Structure 1
């Protein structure tokens, strides 16, 4: 139907074609290259509408949300698609014409393409300032949420539920991006700091969000292009240590926290490092352990060194009486 409507030229029903394209992308249907190209071209035309009225914003939001479902698909027109998305991001940065969901979806579409078009990273990091933008969005979204209200509590406003949903989408995208990024600047330290802040706010009443936060922090420890110093500066190490000494810690959060610690230990393993990096690793290791001792985590260091931990498909399992090994202050 998509291909048939596209061939009708001036006789085609534009809105019906838009509806068809959005529906197929939302459903995750397998489309031919021709159909996919039609969908992207059609919906980008909608997304490029720069009007600020509510009706136009809703249409733009739906188009961008649908486009954000496209992963790793490249054809001869990819360059044009990416240029259009860059234009949408830059226009919003200047005029703030998009809804929060639309803006997040725009970034999601661009980063989905980055995973197979590596040269996009320079544009994402240095030209469009992804880390700075994500940090600002997360902070503003977090300010709209009453984190003291329990996740399952009735009466949560529809607006607040939407803000939490967008926060989760950002965190999911960051978790995937952190594993693959190569470029790094000071803006990312601030972004990690905002994830730490959201985790602390969501820890007690919003388990899904708090798990997303720890998972994002864990993912970045596995990326060897990221300096461990950034994890210290951002407060990521502090929040993981705080979490590991909690009596009521959830099993899934234990898994992510232990993954975080395991990855850092691996990164600081002097025997596996290059000779030229050994001095730097020793200094960083010293700084990390001094910080942990300063915060009173000496017993936690001992526990993590002596507990039996088995890794299976990225899940970490502890000995049954794990909690009995902790000394609480």
Structure 2
């Protein structure tokens, strides 16, 4: 059995076309008045909305952001109009999960840092709207680089996210603020900097349903990102804010609005609901990986991932990839049991996935990592006799299931590819074939 990549359109030519078109419009801004610039930027924003991730990363280079910075310095482009463009770039960057270094390496980033610092230091006459917009653009485009301004920008956007008016304009402001906050990942923040505010945002929504689906997911994404270095949050997330109940309900609601049987020509186009589902799957995976409280409800979250996997497996391969990654994350948590994956059908789905005639390397690597960790988990010693007895039953069930499906033969077929598949796995995939087997 060989590994073949799923069919993906060659976007290189389209990316070059989009780059040239966008650069032409940007150059034309120099010769426009304020109102003409706004109209031209609306055209540019429409192009941004239609870009895929490859086009996005090709277009928004360090050179492009440097050109924007120079136009600001030469008074050819107003900061207000630039913000209108950068807010759309930042929003789409976070939605598409683009990974580009254009803004972080540019002079424009340094210019924004100075403007943010200057506004922050003002005692009187601070332009709160400009300040919030500068912080929003900066957080949205920083591409996870650590910076001294991160905490300042975070506290500014938390104030925006606390707005409770239900107008469409305010809802959009809140959504964008929370989306930018949710991108703050592996950065240590003390509870007093954010916990009171984010709890208020989540609890108020649970009572009044004032947030958009994306905004609510982003609030949870921001909070669960803090779990990696703050175990004290577990009680708050699980017991005070009822994460399991809320995540399950949100996933079920979102899945109702996706056309899971879409036509082939529509594949590759992600709607907003699919993107939010992917973000929830990422959040579930992190929660199941980091949270050390044992709760019987956790298997419900495994089931939510399984349901998304089953629905997406034919036509939404990006969601499938996220499901597999979430499984490989969560199996590492000692308090998430192999039995949860067996009973909820996760192991069967992973096995079906590796039997597909076409696969991409990322999915197969994550699938093998999951199965390797399942096997490793079943080899662990249990201190409690009752738990040890249950583990032996689970081990027998896993062995019989995989033996029935011809699992070992499939793994043997992959063995020659383990080294190749491990090239992007930082050496975490074992090259020893027996590490993927369950023995009784």
Provide the TM-score with structure 2 as the length reference: 0.64
Show the 5 A alignment for 1:1-329: 1-28=115-142, 30-32=146-148, 35-74=149-188, 78-150=191-263, 153=266, 161-269=271-379, 274=383, 276=385, 278-292=388-402, 296-297=404-405, 299-301=406-408, 303-304=410-411, 308=415, 310=418, 312=422, 313-314=427-428
Q: Give how far 1:262 is off.
A: 1.3
Q: Give how far 1:97 is off.
A: 0.5
Q: Give how far 1:173 is off.
A: 2.6
Q: Give how far 1:317 is off.
A: 8.2
CA contact (8 A) 1:121 1:183 kept: yes
Counterparts in 2 of 1:179 and 1:155: CA distance versus 1, 3 Å:
closer
Q: Give how far 1:136 is off.
A: 1.6
CA contact (8 A) 1:40 1:67 kept: yes
Deviates more, 1:178-187 or 1:257-266: 178-187
CA contact (8 A) 2:202 2:216 kept: yes
Unaligned segments of structure 2, at least 5 residues: 1-114, 434-440
Which is higher, the Rg of structure 1 or of structure 2? 2
Partner SS, residue 115 of structure 1: helix
Deviates more, 1:47-56 or 1:5-14: 5-14
Partner SS, residue 266 of structure 1: helix
CA contact (8 A) 1:198 1:213 kept: yes
Q: Distance in 1 between matches of 2:308 and 2:187?
A: 33
Q: Give how far 1:181 is off.
A: 1.9
Q: Give how far 1:278 is off.
A: 4.0
Counterparts in 2 of 1:39 and 1:249: CA distance versus 1, 3 Å:
closer
Q: Distance in 1 between matches of 2:119 and 2:229?
A: 31
Q: Give how far 1:222 is off.
A: 1.9
Q: Give how far 1:147 is off.
A: 1.5
CA contact (8 A) 2:227 2:291 kept: no
Counterparts in 2 of 1:196 and 1:154: CA distance versus 1, 3 Å:
closer
Q: Give how far 1:47 is off.
A: 0.7
Partner SS, residue 370 of structure 2: helix
Counterparts in 2 of 1:117 and 1:300: CA distance versus 1, 3 Å:
closer
The match for 1:324 is none
Counterparts in 2 of 1:38 and 1:317: CA distance versus 1, 3 Å:
same
Q: Distance in 2 between matches of 1:316 and 1:210?
A: 23
Aligned residues: 309
Deviates more, 1:19-28 or 1:131-140: 131-140
Q: Distance in 2 between matches of 1:61 and 1:88?
A: 12
Deviates more, 1:4-13 or 1:118-127: 4-13
Alpha-carbon displacement from aligned partner over 1:162-219 (angstroms, at most 9, x marks no partner): 1111112222233333322212323322221121111111111111111111111122
Provide the TM-score with structure 1 as the length reference: 0.83
Q: Distance in 1 between matches of 2:343 and 2:240?
A: 24
